[in-house]
Amino acid sequence: MLHTLDRTMETLVSDSLVYRYQLHGENFTDDGLSGGEGTFSMCTFWLVEALARAGRLEEARFIFEKMMTYANHLGLYSEEISPTGQQLGNFPQAFTHLGLVSAAINLNDRLDGVSR
């Protein structure tokens, strides 16, 4: 699993945000859809949770705190975030908020030394 985290960081993360699949390079995924693909907010929160569970708390906290800056003025998130920080796709996205809650609980627990 640790290797999967490292590969995710290497291939799917851009400026701490996570793409659902590779858009460039050797393992490029052609989804057949027109238009651009943003980073997937739920995947970014999943990464925070995975990093926290792996004990990589500094990385997890940094990404979590950075994600907080992409919420709108009500604290809501869309499905995707564009390279310029614009919210894209379904809004508000319930699954993203479930990922946020889970990541927050798990990161907080690990920072407090609690393991569930």
Which DSSP category does 90 fall into?
S
Task: Report whether pLDDT(3) > 90.
Answer: yes
pLDDT in tens, 70-91: 999 999 999 999 888 899 988 9
| Straight-line distance from the first to the last Cα atom of the chain, in angstroms, rounded to the nearest whole number | 18
Q: With bands split at pLDDT 50, 70 and 90, how would you rate the model's confidence at 38? A: confident
- Going from N- to C-terminal start, the domains of the chain cover 2-111
- Our CA dihedral for 47, 16, 40, 2, rounded to 10 degrees, sits at -30
